[in-house]
Amino acid sequence: MKLLVLPCDGIGPEIIAASMQALEVVDSKFGLGLSLEYDDAGFVSLEKYGTTLRDSVLEKARHEYDGVILGTQSHADYPAPEKGGRNVSAGFRIGLDLYANVRPARTRPFIESNMKPGKTMDLVIMREATEGFYPDRNMHLGWAELMPSPDMAISLRKITAHCSNRIARRAFELASKRRKKVTAVHKANSFHQTDGLFLREVRKVAAEFPDVQLDDLLIDASTAHLVRNPERFDVICATNFYGDILSDLASELSGSLGLAGSMMASDTKCCAQAQHGSAPDIQNQDKANPVSMMLSCAMLLHWLGETRALPAYEQAFYAIDKAIDTVLSDPASRTPDLGGKTGTKRFGALVAEALKAA
């Protein structure tokens, strides 16, 4: 199984390196036959090739690899697109049609959450990732923001039946394997046509899954319920912008954004990507928490196992997930963001040791 690894910017190379320690162990332990090949993206690519993401890298990812492991990017600091500052994550989402951004969030009994005492969380946000209010990815040509005058800016939102239907389908398929509940998040009381179209398609799909309960919430009410009553959520289905905001909120409430995995998938390709940013302020200081990247890599393995009927890959996912919890359960083994003193490299080594011992 060939995986393309792109360390990218900031703490990306560090958390990728720590994650590779875990992948090397499960590769050997479960006989996965992984082949990891590295290439450049982000600032390193910009310096070498004049662009943060070459078309040739996307072509390789599309035709030569079974999956992608994508490090963090400092795209807010990139130059303008016409000067080579291409949004790497958006490039992969559009280039490989990675429409399903899957973002779990769960509490751990041994890590203090940021919720009310006694509250727990175990949910997955299924975020549509190829359209919505993102001007760099919702147009075939051009940019979906414009300034008719120096004092006026306009941004266009695109919602299609096709994209709404397929993200809803993925949400119901996942919920049918969990607690059988989907919550559609929207603002149809204001965005009558766009969110109305999204809800129409969600309800169409819901009719095909009679065993899965569907409810819907306004985006503003959803944030309140995440804080007050997170147990009500199983799978949240959302358009791009809402899903992006809710996933950061849910992960931080559950303990830390650094503890939440994330993957982007099409029907045939999958990309692991940490849920958080590139944190250039702690770059090369051995302080970064690699858990999100590790879990994202594990999710990629699970997706490969599930879509290609490879049970060993799914077993590897559960092994990594358990090993991470084993290490996190010891406060002394945690990284500084979680109150510990363990460095990024050492944390990766500890997870690898836990995998070997299991």
Tens of pLDDT, residue by residue over 86-116, are 999 999 999 999 999 999 999 999 999 999 8
187 is catalytic: yes
Strand order in the sheet with 270-273: 35-38, 2-6, 67-70, 270-273, 263-265, 100-106, 122-128, 235-238, 181-186, 213-218
For residue 313, give Cα distances in angstroms to 299, 325, 336: 10, 19, 31
- Which of the residues 9, 244, 269, 287 is marked catalytic? 244
Supply the pLDDT for residue 139.
80
> Which of 179, 184, 187, 163 shows the shortest CA–CA distance to 212?
179
What was the pLDDT predicted at 143? 81
With tokens 């720590």, the residue in question is: 18
Q: What is the mean pLDDT of residues 12-27?
A: 98
The residue from 65, 99, 158, 187 that is catalytic is 187
Same CATH topology for 1-102+257-358 and 113-254? Answer: yes
Catalytic residue, from 65, 78, 99, 134: name it: 134
Write the pLDDT tens digit of every residue in 241-265.
999 999 999 999 999 989 999 999 9
- The C-alpha atoms of residue 59 and residue 65 are separated, in whole angstroms, by 10
Task: Please give the pLDDT value at position 144.
Answer: 87
At 129-145, the pLDDT tens digits run 999 988 877 888 788 88
Largest Cα span, the chain:
64
Given the residues 55, 77, 220, 330, the one annotated as active site: 220
CATH class of residue range 113-254: alpha beta
This prediction has a pTM of 0.94
Q: In this predicted structure, what is the pLDDT of residue 254?
A: 93
Question: Which is catalytic among the residues 248, 321, 325, 337?
Answer: 248
Residue 137 CA to residue 55 CA, distance in Å, equals 16
Model pLDDT, residue 23: 98
Q: Which two tokens stand for residue 274?
A: 């940490």
The yes-or-no answer on residue 134 being catalytic is: yes
| Torsion of the alpha carbons at 285, 286, 291 and 296, rounded to the nearest 10 | 70
pLDDT in tens, 219-233: 999 999 999 999 999
**Predicted pLDDT of residue 135:** 82
What is the b/e burial string over 224-257, where b = at least 16 CB atoms within 10 angstroms of the residue's CB?
A: eebeeebeebbbbbbbbbbbbbbbbbbbbbbbbb
| pLDDT computed for residue 134 by the predictor | 84
- 193 has pLDDT over 80: yes
Domain 1-102+257-358: top CATH class: alpha beta
Q: Report the candidate in 130, 211, 119 with the shortest Cα–Cα distance to residue 164.
A: 130
pLDDT reported for residue 138? 80
Q: Is residue 244 flagged as an active site residue?
A: yes
Q: What is the pLDDT of residue 358?
A: 86
CA distance 38 to 291: 21
Position 167 pLDDT exceeds 90: yes
State how far the alpha carbon of 108 is from the alpha carbons of 22, 254, 257, 275, 314, in Å.
20, 8, 13, 18, 21
Mean residue pLDDT of the chain comes to: 96
- Partnered with residue 237 across adjacent β-strands are 126, 184
CA 311 distance to own-chain centroid: 23
The closest alpha carbon to 69, from 350, 260, 292, belongs to 292
Q: Where are the beta strands (DSSP E) in the chain?
A: 2-6, 35-38, 67-70, 100-106, 122-128, 145-149, 152-155, 181-186, 213-218, 235-238, 263-265, 270-273
Q: Is the pLDDT of residue 318 over 80?
A: yes
Q: Which residue has the tokens 């928490």?
A: 289
pLDDT score of 340: 95
Give 43-86 pLDDT, tens digit per residue: 999 999 999 999 999 999 999 999 999 999 999 999 998 999 99
Report d(CA 20, CA 109) in Å as an integer: 27
What residue segments make up the domains of the chain, in order of their start?
1-102+257-358, 113-254
